[in-house]
Amino acid sequence: MAITDPRAVKFANENARVAADLFAQGYYRAKAAIDQVDAQGLEALFPDAETVEDGADVDGRSRITGAHVTGVITAMRALVADMEANGSARLTAILQVAVNTRMA
């Protein structure tokens, strides 16, 4: 029996698929970033207390430190590991719903 309730269809299209797209995009972005970090040994370039001089002080973004960047790298590793655990079960579930899985 098909699900035809307009509220369910709307939620599936406007929330579930959109969230799946964002999860997939986040996974692929994190996977590529981790591959780059590992291949180039970039993690060692971010001492915890040092400020990243990325122009944030002049363009309004908050300043970040090596610890902030390392924290994001750690979170990306956790996301990738979680999505790939148990034979990539979570990634597979997301990709079955996602439509736009790649970042532009």
Tens-level pLDDT at each residue, the chain (104 residues): 999 999 999 999 999 999 999 999 999 999 999 999 999 999 999 999 999 999 998 999 999 999 999 999 999 999 999 999 999 999 999 999 999 998 76
**Domains: count for the chain:** 1
Q: Which residues contact 33 (CB under 8 A, 6 or more apart)?
A: 73, 76
Asked whether residue 72 is assigned to any structural domain, the reply reads: yes
Whether residue 41 contacts residue 93, with contact meaning beta carbons closer than 8 Å, is answered with no
Whether residue 101 contacts residue 28, with contact meaning beta carbons closer than 8 Å, is answered with yes
Give residue 79's domain range: 6-95
Asked whether residue 1 is assigned to any structural domain, the reply reads: no
pTM: 0.90
